[in-house]
Amino acid sequence: MAGVPAKNSKYLKDIEGARRDLRALISSKNCAPIMLRLAWHDAGTYDAKTKTGGPNGSIRHDHELKHGANSEQVKAKHPEITYADLYQLAGVVAVEVTGGPTIDFVPGRKDSKVSPEEGRLPDANQGAKHLRDIFYRMGLSDKDIVALSGGHTLGRAHPERSGFEGAWTKDPLKFDNSYFKELLEKSDPDLLKLPTDTALVEDPKFLRYVELYAKDEDAFFRDYAASHKKLSELGFISP
Ligand code: HEM
């Protein structure tokens, strides 16, 4: 699409309308986890070297995530908003309505018709080196890796989707620091730990942040909000 009228007041009004509709939708359908995952999967394909991928709406071709997230009805009501902005706004609202930090949202992302090649998102069966390969490619840091992994405070894994099963925390619709507490305490064997989650306690540099976030929820919220904003703006230059 042509230039996005981000500074245009009509577009900003549409964004505020969509924000309200997303709050209502996410609360009534309890779909915060899949909305957050949708935003992450759209953004997490970014490659800083080639400046390809990133939050550009191309995840709309992923039927499972798109339908599961029900975002189409908000798009139908606010057709001017780009998919790229809509998905990132949905991620921000999902964190907010489940009790997480407020994340600054700047509109103006453009949509791309080109989906990046498969294999840019992390593989849950791997470890710390792989996490660094993937997140450094996006231009993100060790702190971003640990803070953003805290997104697993929401939701669960489904055997038919990923082969993994279960939730990471006892209340998967509440955004808090329990993901980090459970990683350290290992008190409930029914809670899920992916190999990439376990990697965060096995790697000493990652572990420092896990320990900080487990004991200090304010520190987690502050760092999460900053890392989530970065993720949501990869390759995006505010128009
Ligand atoms: C779910 C892997 C990072 C948010 C999942 C699932 C896997 C996975 C395997 C289960 C999917 C299913 O079976 O439905 C990973 C890996 C990551 C990562 C390997 C590397 C660090 C993130 C990040 C976020 C995130 C950065 C957001 C900030 C979520 C959410 C769900 C989820 C909210 C639950 C979805 C639902 O309940 O339907 N992830 N993830 N993940 N992931 Fe991640």
Contact assessment for residue 229 and residue 145, using Cβ atoms and an 8 Å cutoff: no
pLDDT for the residue numbered 23: 98
- From the CA of 139, how far away is ligand 1's center (Å)? 19
Residues whose beta carbon lies within 6 Å of some atom of ligand 1: 33-34, 36-37, 40, 122, 124, 131, 148-149, 151-152, 154-158, 161-162, 164, 194, 196
Closest CA to 102 of 118, 91, 110, 114: 91
Q: How many Å is the maximal CA-CA distance in the chain? A: 52
Unique residue bearing structure tokens 């929401």:
154
In the predicted model, what is the mean pLDDT of residues 137-151?
Answer: 98
Helices (H), 46-194: 63-69, 72-77, 83-97, 128-137, 142-149, 178-185
For residue 34, the CA-to-ligand 1 centroid distance in Å is 9
- Residue 29 near residue 35 (C-beta atoms within 8 A): no
Residues 161-206: pLDDT tens digits?
Answer: 999 999 999 999 999 999 999 999 988 999 999 999 999 999 999 9
Given this model, what pLDDT does residue 205 score?
98
By most ligand atoms within 8 Å of CB, the mutation choice from 34, 38, 40, 168 for ligand 1 is: 40
CA–CA separation, 203 vs 126, rounded Å?
13
User: 41 catalytic, yes or no?
Assistant: yes
Helix (H), strand (E) at residue 20: helix 9-29
Per-residue model confidence (pLDDT) at position 239: 66
Please say if the pLDDT value at position 235 is more than 70: yes
Complex ipTM > 0.90: yes
